[in-house]
Amino acid sequence: MGEWDTDFPMQTAGTPYDKLLFRGFQFADSRSSLQNDRTFLRTSTLNTDPELMPQTPAPQRPVRSRVSGGVPWWLWMIMILIGGGVGFSLIARSIPEDADKLFEEAIAASMKGDAVTLTKNTDLLKKFPERISQQKYLEAIYLVAMSRPLKAIPLLKEVAKDPALKLRALNLMGGAYAAATDRKTAIATFELVLKEDENAHDTRLNIARILIDCFAWEESLRHLNALAEQKFRPSVVLQLRADIRSDLGQFAEAALDYEQAIAADPADPTNGLKATRLVQCLSATGNYEKISEYVNDVDNPNVGAVASAEMHLAKDQLKEAQDALESIRRENPYDAAMNRVYARVMLKHNTPEKASEAVAALRPVLKLATRDVELYRPVVELARVAGDAELASVAQENVDQLNELKKDFDAKLAAVISTRDNIDDRLALADAAKELGRTEFARKVYEGLMSYYPDQELEFRNW
């Protein structure tokens, strides 16, 4: 599910927060006051505002002295510098500073990753004591962007007392809690925003993302469905909904969501991943004709090759199917998806010779992939065709055991996704996932628990 990656997309001033943070601030040249902060990620030239950066008038040429002997040169220099300073001060005072403009410029700068303008305008706002809330809000943006969310939270609590900035502050505070891996408090904070503005779609999306990580999928789906009805960021919303549906085994519905997510933004750089998941869902439903439309768009060449083999297999083009798998069998003989299709292709020949060849090739794999029921099902039939009764019996016993474990897993998953925080049910689900060999799934369950109960992180790590 990618990962919030802190890939949280949050909102500030009506703008998705993923555009605001974690891009690395831009900096001025080495003369910048920020030149020693090595935590920034890239440099750029500071874009100065001519209204905020008055120019010092060029000093005039000294007039020849009327006094015999003249005025000492150093006294002339002092007089020129003093005069220049006064002139600069008068010009600066003649240019009124608009506090609202400074604030909005700083917000825009933060979305561009321009730390120089953000910090400069924050300092300029100190000239307006009545704008202390705006100043603290900008300071909090900087702290969250610099991966110091815990320092930002106290500032945001103060800012939230200002009615004009309350929703902005709560949104950023929710993001700060999420970045600090306190997802429970993050959800509660975001829900305060929704309570006052049910059309805060970015906030609703933030909640849906966190609930996905916590395996509270039913509640997350309700939020995603509401966003989908509003056609809000369909390339993101539909992908998230498809991920949940795919993990629930609702492959036809997931495939439709992935397809619509790709169509919503054809230029999205994540479309390769969406196409990969789409092809896998189409394969699970047996919709091989539709696979041909996306097989060249997947970001994983192995997935594309396996999908091509399945398309050939569906047309009884066995040689072409084997050829499509050949490079994977040579370079990655333990690829799970490839071996499942290879077993089915060899079984389709329906000859003892091909069955024996397949059994011999798969024996090393079977010693490791002991919990891959999709592999063992065709192996049972291959062993029978090859006349290997012992392997057929052992493989069938394994299939029966795995089917029972899958039923147990599905029951535990159904119990978990309807709640936010039942620890015992989630630990039981992780155990069931490990029994099925789904170690990555189990890891995500533990991570969800650690982010929802950060005070018990060590306990979950040792589970």
Q: What is the pLDDT of residue 24?
A: 37
Is 440 domain-assigned? Answer: yes
* Domains contained in the chain, number: 2
Range of the structural domain that residue 442 is part of: 388-463
DSSP class of residue 57 equals P
Summarised one tens digit per residue, pLDDT across range 358-402 is 999 999 999 999 999 999 999 999 999 999 999 999 999 999 999
Query: Is residue 65, in this structure, part of any structural domain at all?
Result: no
Which amino acid would we find at residue 371? R
For residue 71, pLDDT over 90 is answered with no
Cα gap 333→336, rounded to integer Å: 9
The answer as to whether 295 is a domain residue is no
SS3 state at 171: helix
Q: What pLDDT is recorded for position 12? A: 39
Residue 79 pLDDT grade (very low, low, confident, very high; cuts 50, 70, 90): very low
150 vs 138: CA distance, rounded Å: 15
Residue type, 208: A
Alpha helices by DSSP H, listed for 265-317, are 271-285, 288-294, 301-314
The total of other beta-carbon atoms located within 10 Å of residue 225's CB is: 13
In a domain, 383, yes or no: no
Q: What is the pLDDT of residues 166-204, one digit of tens each?
A: 999 999 999 999 999 899 999 999 999 999 999 999 999
Angle at CA 374, nearest 5°, toward 372 and 310?
130
| Residue 115 falls inside a structural domain | yes
297: in domain: no
Give alpha helix (H) positions in 95-114: 99-112
Q: Is 211 within the bounds of a domain?
A: no
Domain closes at, from 160, 189, 218? 189
Which region among 56-70, 250-264, 319-333 has the lowest average model confidence (pLDDT)?
A: 56-70
| Last residue within a domain, chosen from 133, 167, 189 | 189
Distance CA 83, CA 86 (A): 5
Identify whether 252 is part of a domain: no
Q: Which residues contact 172 (CB under 8 A, 6 or more apart)?
A: 10, 12, 17, 137, 140, 141, 144, 152, 156
Q: Which residues make Cβ contacts (< 8 Å) with residue 19, sequence separation at least 6?
A: 111
Tell which of 155, 189, 223 closes a domain: 189
Provide the mean pLDDT of the chain. Answer: 83
pLDDT tens per residue, range 20-49 = 443 333 333 333 333 333 333 333 333 333
